[in-house]
């Protein structure tokens, strides 16, 4: 029995030493990463779909803190400050915990975080090679979709990189506009009005995604992704009034600055790809990135009569869609150039019809990177809109700086 007692005490001491070693080797346990990202610009015109405004302005100033909580959990908090119409808006973009290898390739994230659907969405905007997100993101994802929820991810033990995940979110930022049902109000006919607020579901968004990628020799790598987002509160309801004219009490507001989706639907499908090339895998001196995404948002409207039967719209018009393709080439350690083209096709209710709208954007950027932490970018944008209310065709010049202070984590692939 004495042989058993001694190893047990040694195991206890050994575990304590291993635990102390883990804590001492990971400085973030006692010294968290703290960073700030500054984004300022001058722009010659207004961008559509809640892009940047004309004149001098500040983009999103990001304040972040992150650290390993212990050997099991990681945590991060990110606050963003944005200025619009002389008002400073502060919003908590991230506040989550995540497991660090719970086993068998699974991990869980909980709190507020960026959804992992699509390619760009899980990346912070300051990492982009262009001034604003593509029109499809500004229309369907509020620029970048973050929300309160939980995510389960799995990385398969395969030669190719293969991950998949499931998410559930509160979904407030993806809700269709609230509709007031007006049932022939008190008027000269003496009929009473009834105002009914929409009953939104508290867990409004569910998503599933998968990403597959690998290397092509020593110089190239690729990734393909497919995503599905189910928005339980995304369908717009239109009341049929007594005169058989459809009526919406609240139209979409595409002006102002917010992170809500400008156009929503019940189902969103996303396909994305990215290809990267660098001589012998050395990205410091020269590299090329080609990427693109396609969005299709379906089941966007339903008509609702007084007996609450749902009448479908014509399926040929019951969708939004958008896409972009981009190429960014860093031709020296300090200079890069990018070209991006994208389109957004949406539908709005006008009278009894769904009227089509289209946005086309062509963007050319030239950026100087003194270091990994500083970028000065000059961008030309040609935007053309068809049937967008308040939208003007324009040629826009933007001069932007993006500066990072403090320790900042590695960017996504």
pTM for this structure?
0.84
Sheet strands side by side (includes 246-247): 246-247, 236-240, 301-304, 310-312
The CA distance from 94 to 77, in Å, is 5
Residue 213, beta-bridge partner list: 161, 223
The CA distance from 336 to 403, in Å, is 16
Query: Would you call 230 exposed, middle or buried from its count of C-beta atoms within 10 A (0-12, 13-18, 19+)?
Result: middle
Average pLDDT for consecutive 10-residue bins of the chain (413 residues)? 39 39 50 92 89 89 94 95 80 96 94 97 94 96 95 96 97 77 47 61 96 95 98 80 46 54 94 96 92 96 52 64 98 96 89 82 97 95 85 92 84 73
What pLDDT does 27 receive?
55
Phi, then psi, of 11 in degrees rounded to 5: -60, -40
In the CATH hierarchy, which fold is given to the domain comprising 28-183+194-406? Porin (2.40.160)
The maximal CA–CA distance of the chain, rounded, in angstroms, is 98
């Amino acid at each position: 029995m004495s042989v058993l007692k001694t190893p047990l005490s040694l195991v206890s001491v050994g575990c304590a030493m291993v635990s102390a070693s883990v804590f001492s080797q990971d400085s973030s346990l006692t010294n968290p990463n703290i960073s700030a990202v500054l984004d300022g610009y001058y722009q010659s015109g207004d961008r559509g779909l809640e892009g940047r405004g004309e004149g001098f302005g500040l983009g999103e100033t990001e304040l972040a803190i992150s650290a390993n909580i212990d050997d099991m959990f990681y945590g991060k908090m990110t606050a963003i400050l944005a200025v619009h119409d002389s008002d400073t808006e502060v919003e908590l973009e991230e506040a989550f915990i995540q497991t660090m290898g719970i086993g068998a390739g699974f991990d869980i994230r909980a709190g507020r975080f960026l959804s992992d659907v699509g390619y760009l969405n899980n990346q912070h905007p300051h990492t982009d090679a262009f001034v604003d997100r593509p029109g499809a993101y500004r229309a369907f994802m509020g620029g970048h979709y973050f929300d309160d929820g939980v995510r389960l991810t799995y990385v398969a033990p395969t030669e190719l990189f293969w991950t998949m995940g499931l998410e559930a979110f509160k979904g407030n930022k993806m809700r269709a506009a609230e509709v007031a049902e007006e049932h022939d109000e008190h008027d000269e006919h003496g009929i009473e009005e009834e105002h009914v607020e929409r009953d939104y579901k508290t867990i409004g968004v569910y998503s599933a995604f998968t990403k597959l990628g690998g290397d092509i020799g020593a110089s190239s790598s690729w990734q393909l992704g497919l995503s599905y987002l189910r928005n339980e509160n995304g369908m717009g309801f239109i009341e049929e009034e007594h005169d058989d004219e459809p009526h919406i009490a609240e139209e979409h507001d595409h002006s102002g600055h917010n992170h809500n989706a400008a156009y929503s639907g019940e189902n969103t499908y996303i396909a994305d790809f990215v290809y990267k090339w660098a001589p012998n895998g050395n990205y410091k001196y020269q590299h090329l990135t080609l990427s693109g995404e396609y969005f299709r948002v379906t089941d966007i409207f339903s008509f609702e009569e007084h007996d609450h039967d749902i009448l479908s719209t014509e399926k040929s018009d019951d969708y939004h869609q958008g896409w972009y393709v981009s190429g960014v080439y860093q031709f020296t350690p300090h200079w890069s150039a990018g070209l991006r083209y994208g389109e957004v096709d949406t539908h709005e209710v006008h009278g009894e019809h769904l009227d089509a709208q289209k946005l086309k954007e062509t963007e050319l950027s030239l950026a100087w990177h003194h270091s990994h932490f500083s970028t000065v970018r000059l961008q030309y944008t040609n935007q053309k809109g068809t049937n967008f209310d308040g939208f003007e065709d324009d040629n826009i010049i933007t001069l932007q700086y993006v500066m990072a202070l403090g320790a900042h984590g590695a960017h996504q692939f």
